[in-house]
Amino acid sequence: MKIGVIGIGITRFGEIWDRGLRELLLDSQLRALNDAKIVPQQIDAMFTGNMLGDSLSGQVHIGAMATENLNLDKPSIRVEGACASGALALRQGIKAIESGDAEIVMVNGVEKMTDVDTGQVTTALMGAGDEELEGFHGLTFPGLYSLLANAYMHKYPSLTRDILAEVAVKNHFHGARNSYCQFKNEITKETVINSTMVADPLTLFDCSPITDGSATIIIAKEEIAKKMNSEVFITGSGLATDTLSLARRNTLTAIPAGQKAANQAYAQSNITSKDISFAEVHDCFTIAEIMAVEALGFAKEGEAFNLYKNKETYFDSKHPINTSGGLKACGHPVGATGIKQAIEATMQLRGEAKNRQVLNATVGVTHNVGGSGATACVHVFKRLR
């Protein structure tokens, strides 16, 4: 597989009170067109990742909104897999090209989350878990990930509260170097540990925030992308699923779907984890980044703590993770996150990441998870010029 990235566009992530779903989406669409230097009519199809338009904005049918925004009548579909919606949309865009159906595809991820109260958002997000087995009984997503954190830290006590906090500290360090990021302030370990307890052991600063944002990537068939002088190509797309509920899961100390998706994407790209220059992973909670790093093969299960203890996940170290600031600092507009990861990967491989630039970056991986691990989608990006 070799699908070129020909354009990227992203809005500021944050509380964007003066824009609705449509305006956010249009903003990233126009930026991506501008970056690709193409006109809307050159786009053959669109896919848009969105999770909560229905419950938070009363708006489904966002596929048609995406084409209407550019005055097109082309095929356009909304794709949803909870917080992995963005990566799933990207995957469908790739398949549209591989099937011969399209040559140039626009893929969007958009979410508008701050127009309603936090309780409503928390309830809506719980739709990503099992409503009957979990949501109905009062579980929330911090609650689900606290169960995972407790199971993991019980089995692997080397992951201490202090080391877990380092995930957030590092992501804020990166976020402070990213212009489109929601939280641009650096924090200390103490900030994390002493912040309000949300679901033991996870405090406020272990949790990603509620965010508005939109991100668009334009991809193209290899030959077209080459003619347009693209440097960045997608060489692998892996996708695996698991049970919606934790109760039915085989393990609580790993997210197996992430590992399966990674193995598929690596095999398609002829790489191993050793070849990877950097990764954007799904740190909806700090414990999720620990499990992601292990799923991607940077450490064995139970051993990721070493990377954080030794500060190896910073942009200028051995295993740069979440140079965008991750979901924690950059923000988590759920449907947009998967596309944001792809954009960060593209910026790194193009050498456009400025003061968070990974040196000599040649292979980047994005890892996007839905729910508490029921969907995981991994893409491999390579610099090929």
Instruction: Point out the catalytic residue in the list 172, 282, 319, 332.
Output: 332
Among 165, 375, 379, 382, binds a second copy (CB under 8 A): 375
From CA 362, how far away is CA 385, in angstroms rounded? 10
Q: Is 72 in the site for a second copy (CB under 8 A)?
A: yes
What's the maximum distance between 2 C-alpha atoms anywhere in the chain? 56
Cβ atoms of residues 26 and 215 within 8 Å: no
What Rg do the C-alpha atoms of the chain give, in angstroms?
19
* Choice between 141 and 308, CB closer to a second copy: 141
Active site residue 332: yes
Which residue lies nearer to a second copy by CB, 35 or 242?
A: 242
Q: Which segment (55-63, 185-193, 219-227, 305-313) binds a second copy by CB under 8 A? A: 55-63
22 binds a second copy (CB under 8 A): yes
- In sequence order, what are the residues at sequence separation of 6 or more whose Cβ sits closer than 8 angstroms to the Cβ of residue 246? 129, 134, 144, 147, 148, 252, 372
- Shortest Cβ 190–a second copy spacing (Å): 36
Tell me: does residue 252 bind a second copy (CB under 8 A): no
Give the total residue count for the chain.
385
Residue number with CB closer to a second copy (158 or 270): 270
Tokens of 372: 């508490």
- 201 prior amide bond cis, ω within 30: yes
Calpha distance 167→291 (Å, rounded) = 12
Question: Counting contacts by CB under 8 A, is residue 189 touching a second copy?
Answer: no
In the list 6, 65, 225, 342, the residue contacting a second copy (rule: CB under 8 A) is: 65
- 79 contributes a contact to a second copy by CB under 8 A: yes
Decide: is 77 part of the binding site for a second copy (CB under 8 A): yes
Q: Which two tokens stand for residue 165?
A: 């906090």
Any contact of residue 30 with a second copy (CB under 8 A)?
A: no
Neighbours of 185 (CB within 10 A): 11
Q: Does 336 bind a second copy (CB under 8 A)?
A: no
Nearest to 383 by CA among 259, 275, 241, 298: 275
Q: For a second copy, give the closer residue by CB, 123 or 253.
A: 123
Nearer to a second copy, 260 or 319 (CB): 260
Q: According to the binding rule CB under 8 A, does residue 73 interact with a second copy? A: yes
Stretch that binds a second copy, among 33-41, 72-80, 171-179, 184-192 (CB under 8 A): 72-80
**Which of 362, 314, 369, 319 lies closest to 341, judged by CA?**
369
Least Å distance between CB 37 and a second copy? 24
How many residues sit in the footprint of a second copy (CB under 8 A)? 61
Nearest C-alpha neighbor of 342 from the set 1, 3, 5: 5
67 binds a second copy (CB under 8 A): yes
Give the C-alpha separation, 162 to 57, whole Å: 39
- CA distance between the termini of the chain: 16
Dihedrals φ, ψ of 263, to 5°?
-60, -40
Residue 337 engages a second copy in binding (rule: CB under 8 A):
no
Please name the amino acid found at residue 95.
K
Cβ at position 145, least distance to a second copy in Å: 16
126 touches a second copy (CB under 8 A): yes
**Residues that are catalytic:** 83, 332
Which residues of the chain form contacts with a second copy (CB under 8 A)? 20, 22, 51-55, 57-61, 63-65, 67-68, 72-82, 88, 91-92, 95-96, 98-101, 123-124, 126-132, 135, 239-244, 248, 256-257, 260, 370-371, 374-375
